[in-house]
A and B are shown apart, each in its own frame.
Chain A
Amino acid sequence: MEESKHQFHCPTPYSSNTTCWLRLAIQQADLSELPLDKNLKNCLDCQTFNQLSLRAKGRRQADQTSNYFTKFLFSQLDSYNDQLKSTDGSLRKRLEELNVLKKVSDALLKSDDLDKSLLLILSGATAGQAFGFNRAFIFLINEKRNVLEGKMALGPQDNNEAEKIWEELKSKNITFDQIIHNILKGEGKPENELIKKTKKIALSLDSQDNILAWALSDKKSLNLKSFPPNQVGNNKLAQILSPCGIVVVPILSEGKPLGVLVADNLITAEPILDEDLFALETFANQAGSEIENMLLHRELRLKYQELEHINQLLRENQSYLLKHERLADIGKLATTAAHEIKTPLIAIGGYARRVLKNYTSGKLDLRDLEIIIKEVERLEEITSQILDYSRESKLSIQRNDLNRIVQEALEVLESKFKYDNILLQTVLSDDLKETDLDSHRIKQVLFNLIENAIDAMFGGGTLTIRTKKKDNYAVLEIEDTGSGINQNEMKKLFIPFYSTKPTGSGLGLAVSKKIVDDHAGFIEVQSKPNEGTRFTIHLPLNQKS
């Protein structure tokens, strides 16, 4: 090597910026440090390098072969290098695309609105580093109208607008992440002309009608290089699309067509390569399921709002219905009341006629008058029970001694017990001196239940009244040794106007239950036919309001 450095003349020695193999060889530099991609071609094209290799002519066969072989290897290496470069380039592009895809997907998850989602998808399709289309459009199928509707567009309408947009992007140095962020925050620009025009487009879904429907019905992408506007099939559509070429990609979700993604390069007029189309297809696939989700979500939200509305109506109606149920009860009450009132009225009328008849004949019987008075009292009783049941109850709650109320009620009934041969037992607990209740109403419950018990013990029996404290309740038990209640009757026990007694209004238990309910308490019944019945009333010790 020492010898050879004087034997060749390079016309551009050391001058170029590119590294020269020969120079490095002369300087005996470390060849492994040489960046291959930049210099191979350089040397292959270099005259000096070629002359040097030609010198091997006429020398030994072995040298000659070696020289040719080296040159051949060089050229092959160069071609591999070219391939590598382009692969590297497309890999970098893929990576970019994947990156954009991921960012858009992530953003879509955060989007709460169809318009935002569509804008995100379009911003992906027009992202400079990745898919890089000048403009993109989304059309979605409207199933109700059976048309393909323009939904969203992204990009300039013409060159003027394009310059403005790109200037702005450059001057503010806006990154893709920022664009996405702005869309999500709803800080996008107001709708430009392109969006307005796009949104006015509604296309037939008939594949013969326009190119978008055609792509959609075939479920295949189209890469249309320059075409006359009349081939588009729709004037409004032709007006907004670039005549230099567009791609149409169907948006599918699990095979179901949702719409189409359209993109073009109106401004740069760059031809659309098939690999660009392929990339956009991947993107549209991803977008498909997102759009479907979004549409379902929107539908769900509409349904939810509908439900909310119905719920509201139901709530309003419920109180109305409750009131009406009560009115219906009262209507039924009118019929029953008429029957209940009829018997005493017949008696009163009958005795009055009798009194009148006997008065004129001078045989007046005081007993007849007494019966009239009793029957009138009965009428009063029935009417006040009806009033008790039908009026809106307003309790007058006070701190009371439950035992005292029980004893007062029992005193009133004392003569009745003797008359009906009833033995009274009381087991009263001491710790009920402070119970919140309406004493008048609770006494009424006691009267009703005790009178029922007496009626059930026809011919006599034992009545047991117990009071006790259990948890936060005052418990009141009224137990008889009477005829009991059978299973059938048990079910209807508290139904207003249901009575097994010929003289009962059928309201006693209904009124009692209502009073206990009004106290936020509850009433239970246990009974065995021919053995007796026990009513247990639970009343909260403390009334909150």
Chain B
Amino acid sequence: MSRLGFDIAHLLAGLLVLISFLQLYQDRLYALLNIFALHALVLALSVAWQAFIQDAPHLYVTAALALAFKAIIIPVVLHRIIVRLGIHREIEQVVGVGPVMLAGIGLVALSMVVMLRVTQQADPLAREDLAFALAVVLLGLLMMVTRRNAVSQVVGFMSLENGLVLAATGAKGMPLVVEISVAFSILIAFIVIGIFLFRIRERFDTVDLQALDRFRGERR
């Protein structure tokens, strides 16, 4: 049982990393949002599995939150937003797929090396979970820096948060306070972002951050 439990947890966490890679090279917003929904779905499964093997029923709440908010509500709302903004057909210039993928592989290797080395005394399940979680976090960061469009930056940020949830649930017995706060913070963050996107749309007819960046630095 414990062997199987470990393998499935391992599989789900590994899938998350893989889906993070898929996100990296999506250049259509629609496809990106679908992949993100998948990311959140796998996260929900992984958290639910952790709840089962750790015998920690409160984690089911976190899993349900991940499923409801991140896999369903947020992608649906974002779909609507990009249709309303009229950018759903746009193709986004991704900064060279090759270099980004290479950088991603480098980051995953880095997180494995760092986390596996420092957590030698921790139990193997938490250990590998943490290494995968760090990889997801770093890939989310990478996505945020390589994207120019506000919507895909937000998606990058949310997949980064998914990595954090994975880490928090992998740490056995971590108090509920944190999980709920993570869920809430995503919700709040989403509201904030939503408001922002609408205002940006209102004012400048674009959500392209390059347009925003024109005013960077000193006003002359």
A and B assemble together:
no
Residue numbers of A with Cβ under 8 A of B are none
Interface residues of B (CB under 8 A from A): none
